C-alpha cells in the first residue's frame, strides 16, 4: 500500500518573522515520524562539515523562501494529481506493487526527493524547499521526481539495493547503477525511454553528443571520486557546464543491461557483478 502524507498546511507555523524556527521544525518533523529529526540533521551536518556549505548562506535562505511562496499551491496540486491511483499504475507496468509512504514535507535542504527507512518503514521524502528552489512544481516535474524515487523503492523491496564495498570505485559504479534503475523505472511509467526531466536547454542532445566522453570521464574518475568531488549527480555539480549527467549515463547503462536480461532479474544482481558489467560496458563503447 502507498500511503500519502501531506504536511503543507503546517508549514507557515514553523516560521517566526519569515525565518525558520528550528525548535518548531524539530517538533514538526518528529510529529510525522517519532524521533526522526536526527536523520535530517545528521545529513545536513555531513554537508556542512565538508566545508563546502555555510548554513546561514547556503541553506537557511532556501528554507526561508518557502514561507508564502507563490508556487506552493501548484506544488501541492501536482503532488495529489501524480499520487492518485499510483500503485495500480505500477502494478500494470511491473510485477509488483509497493508498500511505502510518500511524504511532502519541509526539510533542511536534504534533497528534493530521497528514499529512507524510518522506524522500519520505507519512505519517500519530498523536500518542499528543494522542489521550490528547483522549480519542479509542475506536473511533469513531479511525475519525474516521484517516479524516480519509487524506482529506488522498487529496487529495495524486490531486488538487491543496499550494497557497499571497501573499494570506492565499486560504490560509485553501484550509485550509477541504482540511479539508472530508477531512471529506467521512471521511463517505463512515462512510456518513453528518451524521457529525462532534466532535458531543458538542449541537455539531452548535449549528453547524447558527448556520451563517450561522459563514460570515459566517469570511468577514469572512479578511483578518486568522493561524495563531495563527484560531478555527475545533483543540481549543484558541474560537468562541462552541465549538471545531472550521471542520470543520463546510468540510464544508458541500465538500458544496455536490459537488452541482455529482464528488469526483474537485473535488480537482483549484486555490486561485484554490476562492476564487472560496467567495465564491459565501458570497454564496449570506448
Q: What would the pLDDT profile of 75-85 be if each residue is shown by its tens digit? A: 999 999 999 99
Residue 50 pLDDT grade (very low, low, confident, very high; cuts 50, 70, 90)? confident
Q: Is residue 62 situated within a structural domain?
A: yes
Find residue 129's DSSP bridge partners.
none
CA torsion angle for 104, 109, 112, 114 (degrees, to 10)? -80
Q: Is residue 163 situated within a structural domain?
A: no
Task: Determine the Cα–Cα distance for residues 256 and 44; give it in Å rounded to an integer.
Answer: 35
Residues 205 and 131 in one domain: no
Residues 226 and 246 in one domain: yes
Residues 204 and 125 in one domain: no
The domain boundary residue, chosen from 112, 133, 158 = 158
Residues 146 and 7 in one domain: yes
Task: Determine the Cα–Cα distance for residues 129 and 119; give it in Å rounded to an integer.
Answer: 24
pTM: 0.87
Structural domain containing residue 180: 168-285
Q: At what angle do helices 168-190 and 271-285 cross, to 10 degrees?
A: 80
Is a pLDDT exceeding 90 seen at residue 197?
no
Q: Is residue 47 situated within a structural domain?
A: yes
The residue-averaged pLDDT of 182-194 equals 95
Task: Determine the Cα–Cα distance for residues 151 and 48; give it in Å rounded to an integer.
Answer: 29
Residue 138 burial (10 A CB sphere; 0-12, 13-18, 19+)? middle
Instruction: Cell 526561508: give the residue.
Output: 64
How many C-beta neighbours within 10 Å does residue 134 have?
Answer: 13
Q: What are phi and psi of 227, to 5 degrees?
A: -60, -30
How many domains, in total, are found in the chain?
2
Amino acid at each position: 500500500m502507498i500511503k500519502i502524507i501531506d504536511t503543507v498546511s503546517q508549514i507557515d507555523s514553523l516560521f517566526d518573522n519569515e525565518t525558520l524556527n528550528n525548535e518548531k521544525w524539530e517538533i514538526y518533523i518528529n510529529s510525522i515520524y517519532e524521533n526522526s529529526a536526527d536523520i535530517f540533521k545528521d545529513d545536513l551536518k555531513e554537508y556542512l562539515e565538508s566545508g563546502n556549505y555555510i548554513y546561514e548562506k547556503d541553506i537557511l535562505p532556501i528554507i526561508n523562501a518557502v514561507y508564502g511562496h507563490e508556487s506552493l499551491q501548484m506544488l501541492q496540486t501536482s503532488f495529489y494529481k501524480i499520487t492518485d491511483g499510483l500503485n495500480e499504475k505500477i502494478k500494470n507496468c511491473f510485477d509488483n506493487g509497493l508498500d511505502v509512504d510518500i511524504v511532502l514535507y519541509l526539510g533542511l535542504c536534504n534533497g528534493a526527493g530521497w528514499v529512507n527507512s524510518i522506524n522500519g518503514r520505507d519512505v519517500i521524502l519530498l523536500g518542499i524547499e528543494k522542489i521550490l528552489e528547483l522549480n519542479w512544481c509542475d506536473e511533469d516535474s513531479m511525475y519525474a521526481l516521484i517516479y524516480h524515487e519509487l524506482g529506488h523503492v522498487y529496487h529495495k523491496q524486490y531486488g538487491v539495493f543496499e550494497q557497499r564495498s571497501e573499494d570506492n570505485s565499486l560504490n560509485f559504479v553501484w550509485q550509477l547503477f541504482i540511479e539508472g534503475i530508477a531512471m529506467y523505472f521512471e521511463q517505463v511509467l512515462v512510456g518513453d525511454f528518451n524521457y529525462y526531466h532534466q532535458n531543458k536547454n538542449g541537455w539531452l542532445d548535449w549528453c547524447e553528443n558527448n556520451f563517450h566522453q561522459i563514460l570515459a570521464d566517469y570511468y577514469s574518475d572512479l578511483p578518486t571520486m568522493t561524495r563531495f568531488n563527484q560531478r555527475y549527480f545533483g543540481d549543484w555539480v558541474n560537468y562541462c557546464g552541465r549538471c545531472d549527467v550521471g542520470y543520463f549515463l546510468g540510464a544508458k547503462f541500465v538500458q544496455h543491461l536490459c537488452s541482455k536480461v529482464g528488469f526483474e532479474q537485473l535488480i537482483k544482481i549484486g555490486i561485484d557483478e554490476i562492476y564487472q558489467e560496467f567495465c564491459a560496458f565501458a570497454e564496449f563503447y570506448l
